[in-house]
Amino acid sequence: MSITTTNEKKKKINTKNILKLTKKKIAHLPITYLTNKDFEEGTYKINKKGKYVFKEDIVFNPNKYPNFLDSPENHKRMSYYWMPRPDQTRYKGKEFDHGFFCAILIETKDVIIDLNGHSIKQHPLHYLQQRFFSLFCLGSSPFIKNQGPGGNWGDFIGAENCVIYSSKPEPGIIGLSSHFGIQGNDSKFIHLENLKIIDFESGGISFNNIDDLYMKNLYIGDVHKEVIVNFNYSGLLAIKKIFSKIIKNNKKKIKQIYFNDKNLFHYNKKINLIIDRIVRNFYHSNYKSIFNNSDDPIEKEIKKLFDNEFTDGFQFSDGSSSFGIQITSRGIAIGDFKVFSQCPCNHKPNLGEEKDDIRSKNIIIDNVEINEIHANIKQIINFSVNNDEKLEKCVGSFGEILQLDTCIDEDGLYIPNILTDSQLILKKLKDHSTKILLPENTIRIPNHVIEMIENKQNLLNLDENVTSTFGEDIMSHVNKGTMGIRLENIDNIQVKDLKINNIVNHGKDKKKKYFGKEKIVINKISEQLGNNKSWLGSFGAVLTSCDFDYNSISFGKINSKIGLNMKQIILSSKKQKKIQSDKTFIDKSLDRIALSTIIGFLSISVLSKIANKFKK
């Protein structure tokens, strides 16, 4: 429900006030010049107020390889490349357990970053090895306390009074990134201007809980079109780290535990050889391919894991969503489109914050173009076990879905796969000894599934206690499609001259193998339209519970292969200036739903039926 009453007066955002508390307030700070040398050993951490000016184009490739890529294969040499070294004490926090997750980390107040007409991007090899990454992270870590992989993150410090811009006529270019261009949590008074944010996989700008954001003269789009690995590679990298820790502390215990007649040492060596080969292939192909066209066992394993699916000659991200701008309330935005009356992060019962502190507020968008946002949203099948009338998802060692449907034949017999093999042996290790430390709330796999695999039984005959689900990505993030802009739980948004064009979802509705009963994980757009394929859709703008005012918004091509195509969709909105639309429907369960210029998937007859339904 909306929490704004009709008697409340809308507050105008004073642009001058934001600028006073950012650019003008901190104009006379000490200057530090940044070069590639500042990034050679890792993330550049800004914990002192000041002005930081680029002197050259930055290519982020920390702790890079020596000459091993031109030497014979030896997986032991891969241990610490592109990762924080044990002797780097400034990266000892939990946030760096997952690698160098950003190039520039801002964990203080009063900071100006001037790209000075230059660019910053990931090196292709770091892009390959660091699959969760932002070029700029506004805050002391990518997640607030008690969220993110593994939980138990420490206290969080948000950035405040921060400007990222280019003082030259040429825009600063924020380039290649395996995830986001700019990302932040709990930020205040942020000013972004004269920037070109391109070549990202997931999103250009992402903020969860931000007060007073001013975005001016931005181009966001041209997503990365040569995504050479899928989500399986992230899985291999994560399991490799878990294996290393287990072997270091539990060598004797793990020798006696086998899955399919092989122990963890076998799987660990195989994973390292596969990762080593992928990196070498990528390097020797001039960063174009992870294959070398040979037919040895390692190359065959690589081909099993990576289907290398091209779409119109390109390869796009296969995550749960892709967007130009995403601004939401407090907490991670991995679940469904948020309704404010629900928990803000969809799966955490309490963030310990008052509701008034959770919402974002005061957002100004001035002369922003979002263009060429593409994704290839994939349908992942998971299965859950009915446990005391609750569905408990089967997940692996870092919360990822167990993809059994991709590694069984037509008779339901298991086809060995290094990623799934590794997940299953970790479950056996966990059952064998509580002293083998594994991430909390992970490795939930029924023992009878493992027994059926080892006894070569038909997995399609799993009992009725099992339910198959789809509508989420590999990390159980709810699929939301491609979006030009997503605005959610925000007070006071003012838009002047926003252009959105070429928002495309290349996802396909593939036939899959199901286990037990079938269930669709539908999001709120699916729920309201009675269509279970909105995750295959493309949306120009998605607004949820927002106070929205605009001057000029234009939409171009919004397209998906078989899903919904919508210019604007507004869920549970607060009262706002009327948005031009072909059809506006009233829904009794929400404050309002506005659908405008619906094209492609929905025909006129279907529109009429929906309109009549909502009028009743």
DSSP string for residues in 2-63: ----TTPPPPPP-HHHHHIIIIITTTTPPEEEE-GGGGTTS-EEE-S-EEEEESS-EEE-TT
> If you average pLDDT over residues 576-599, what whole number do you get?
31
Q: How confident is the model at residue 593 (pLDDT cuts 50, 70, 90)?
A: very low
Averaged pLDDT of the chain: 78
pLDDT digits (tens, 9 = 90+) for 258-277: 898 999 999 999 999 999 89
- Does pLDDT of 605 surpass 50? no
- The radius of gyration of the chain's CA atoms, rounded to the nearest angstrom, is 24
pLDDT digits (tens, 9 = 90+) for 308-332: 665 566 789 888 889 999 999 888 8
pLDDT digits (tens, 9 = 90+) for 185-239: 989 999 999 999 999 999 999 999 999 999 999 999 999 999 989 888 988 998 9
The pLDDT of residue 355 is 44
The sign of the dihedral angle between the CA atoms of 302, 235, 135, 371 is positive
CA distance 160 to 497: 26
The pLDDT of residue 525 is 62
- Contact (CB, 8 A) for 507 and 560: yes
Query: Which positions ≥6 away from 37 have C-beta within 8 Å?
Result: none
Q: What is the dihedral of CA 400, 537, 313, 228, to 10 degrees?
A: -20
Query: Domain-by-domain residue ranges, the chain?
Result: 15-227+322-377+481-615, 231-307+379-472
- 529: Cα separation from own chain's centroid: 25
First to last CA, the chain: 20
CA distance 309 to 242: 29
pLDDT digits (tens, 9 = 90+) for 386-400: 776 677 778 887 778
- Does pLDDT of 578 surpass 80? no
For 29, left (φ over 0), alpha (ψ -120 to 50), or beta?
Answer: beta
- Does pLDDT of 305 surpass 70? yes
What string of H, E and C letters represents the secondary structure of 85-137? Answer: CCCCHHHCCHHHHHCCCEEEEECCEEEEEECCCCEEEECHHHHHHCCCCEEEE
- Does pLDDT of 607 surpass 50? no
pLDDT digits (tens, 9 = 90+) for 456-502: 998 888 776 788 877 788 887 888 889 999 998 888 999 999 999 99
293, with CB counted inside 10 A (0-12, 13-18, 19+), is: exposed
